[in-house]
Amino acid sequence: MNKMSLSEMITYSTVLIRCEYSNGTVGSGTGFIINLCSNKENQTCVPVLITNNHVVANSVKTVFEFCKADENGKPIDTQIFSFIYQGNAWIHHPTPSVDLCCLLLAEALNELQKKNTKIFYIPLKTNLIPNNQNLDELSAMEDVVMVGYPIGLSDTYNHKPIIRRGITASHPKKDYQGKKETLLDMACYPGSSGSPVFILNQGAYTTREGIAMGSRVYLLGVLYGGPEFNAKGVLQFANLPNVPVPVTRIPINLGVIIKAERILEFENLFEGVNGGK
């Protein structure tokens, strides 16, 4: 396989999620695959799918769309594999107010392997999550990219998510509104919930010391909502699943992400989990 750029690689980490809810409605959102480690010394890691609680809550049928792979393990971009999930094994974030959940994938991936069904994905790794030192080196205004499926849209022919650009609207090292969150200046539409948001620089980027050459990538956080106007002009905060609602919502091109460090809090729940790599 030809060497991929960083931006191309992260498009293989996301998954389009389609849901049928118990009340008869349908919706969509975004998820992404990351390897979480229950034992860092032994490098015991498990692949999990991360998304928002509100995306999959009350879903009675959830479909994940993966890219197929050929016999050599290379991606077949024009072919998808739809994995249908009707269970209730979502693991909620240990802090109930944090709108994140994850699904262990090892068992499902093992079943696909037994059936010789090949899919292609590139899991993110936790070393992409910025630590305190990394955050201290960032400026208040950083270029960011979001990878996901706004209103369920994608390049269906090539099975690729939509990439959007924006900037941080609050300093990434500070807790926006006192929470482990960051505000973005970016067009964030329903269906984007669960999208990973990255600082992704290729070639050159600015630092506090001036211009740096090379590449830099951080998993900054997970989109979960943002302020909107309704048709009456009332400002309100809304989660962003792609579900029809009777009130006309008008996004104001701001979004809020949960800081990626909160993903690491899932790792304490995986002690003794088998099936990692």
Largest Cα–Cα distance of the chain, in whole Å? 56
pLDDT at 27: 92
Confidence of residue 275 (pLDDT cuts 50, 70, 90): very low
28 φ, ψ (degrees, to nearest 5)? -145, 165
Query: Across the chain, what does the average pLDDT equal?
Result: 87
pLDDT at 156 over 50: yes
- End-to-end CA distance of the chain: give it in Å, rounded: 22
What's the mean pLDDT in 87-112? Answer: 93
Distance CA 265, CA 38 (A): 11
Distance CA 266, CA 93 (A): 6
pLDDT at 260: 98
Confidence of residue 36 (pLDDT cuts 50, 70, 90): very high
Distance CA 229, CA 249 (A): 6
Tell me the C-alpha to C-alpha distance, in Å, between residue 270 and each of 32, 75, 104, 116, 221.
18, 30, 10, 27, 21
10 φ, ψ (degrees, to nearest 5)? -70, -20
Confidence of residue 277 (pLDDT cuts 50, 70, 90): very low
78 φ, ψ (degrees, to nearest 5)? -85, 5
pLDDT at 226: 78
Cβ–Cβ < 8 Å for 189, 170: no
Distance CA 53, CA 167 (A): 25
Lowest mean pLDDT among 20-34, 154-168, 188-202: 188-202
pLDDT at 276: 42
Report the amino acid identity of residue 252: I
**Structure confidence by residue, pLDDT tens digits, 225-244:** 877 655 555 555 556 555 55
pLDDT at 144 over 80: yes
pTM of the model: 0.88
Report the amino acid identity of residue 190: P
Distance CA 219, CA 1 (A): 25
Cβ–Cβ < 8 Å for 126, 260: no
Distance CA 223, CA 226 (A): 9
pLDDT at 271 over 80: no
Sign of the CA dihedral 70, 72, 73, 78? Answer: negative
Q: For the purposes of burial, counting CB atoms within 10 Å of the CB of 253, is it exposed (0-12), middle (13-18) or buried (19 or more)?
A: middle
Distance CA 174, CA 262 (A): 14
Tell me the C-alpha to C-alpha distance, in Å, between residue 121 and each of 8, 47, 91, 203.
11, 11, 21, 25
Strands 91-92 and 26-39: unpaired
